Amino acid sequence: MSGRSGFWTQALAIAKRDLLIESRGGEVFGVVLPFAAVAVFVVPLATDALATRLDQLAYPVYWLVGLLFGLQVALRQTGTETMIQRRTLALLGIDPAARFAGRSLAAALLMTGVMVAIAPLIVLFYDPRAIPAIGPSLLAVVGFAIGLSMLSTLAGDVTVGLRTRSSLAPLIVAPISVPLLIGASQTFESLILDRSTMAPALLLTVTVLSLAVTGVLTAPALEDATT
């Protein structure tokens, strides 16, 4: 890969590398996804079937599982770069912003896959009162996945090489991801209630764009800090 290649060429090459590692290791779809399915299944078991209305829990459980297991996808062991890998990429002249974009893109694709896969389980086990229109809902899920993957990539990079990384990165991501969660879940709610989705969709879009700008602008400093 030449240092003179374009931003998107580098970003796509990094994303392709991450997806290739995932296809070989199968951590997301072989481990994280089944674990997420178990989590979806455990909630009805842990609640009193006579006293709890599961249909009301459907979407909160969906977004909660999406957030927690989305974090697992973004911070997966097989997707973690070692210091040597990071230094090699830096020496090869890879644009740190392209690295951030590529890693976020790969994580967003995997995260969207997990969230799409658990959606039928939510419908099956929880029988929600209404299902929002598929097209706009998918857009909300994709927006959420892109935002969470960028945030997790940033947090993963900030904590790379630390002994407490596995607990510290989620501690950083979870509170900051709230605007994403509100934007995406309120979009669903608005679609179900047939209200305007403008405000939540705008919140989601602005948050995703802010994270993209922050990620690109801080990428060189972050590379300097962690190589």
Partner 1 sequence: MTKRMVLPTLSAAAIAYALWLALDSSPDVFQGDFVRIMYVHVPSSWLAFLAFGVTALGSALWLWRKTIVWDRIAEASAEIGVIFTALAILTGAIWGEPVWGTYWDWGDARMASTALMLFVYLGYLALRRATPDPVARAKRSSILGLIAVVQVPLVYFSVSFWRTLHQGMTVRPDGIQMDGSMVAALLGGLAAFTLLYLALMVERVRLARIEDANTLSDGVAAGTAITAPDLDGIS
Residues that bind partner 1 (CB under 8 A): 154, 158-159, 162-164, 168, 171-172, 174-176, 178-179, 210, 214, 218, 221-222, 224-226
As a whole number of angstroms, the distance between CA 16 and CA 108 comes to 13
Buried (b) or exposed (e) across 31-41, using 16+ Cβ within 10 A?
Answer: ebbeebbebbe
Whether residue 113 contacts residue 35, with contact meaning beta carbons closer than 8 Å, is answered with no
- In angstroms, give the least distance from the CB of 46 to partner 1: 20
Residue with token string 């607990």: 167
Between 28 and 98, whose beta carbon lies closer to partner 1? 98
Phi-psi sector, 5: left (phi>0), alpha (psi -120 to 50), beta: beta
- In angstroms, give the least distance from the CB of 34 to partner 1: 29
Between 127 and 224, whose beta carbon lies closer to partner 1? 224
- In angstroms, give the least distance from the CB of 173 to partner 1: 9
Between 137 and 165, whose beta carbon lies closer to partner 1? 165
Between 12 and 172, whose beta carbon lies closer to partner 1? 172
Between 22 and 223, whose beta carbon lies closer to partner 1? 223
- In angstroms, give the least distance from the CB of 162 to partner 1: 5
Between 119 and 146, whose beta carbon lies closer to partner 1? 146
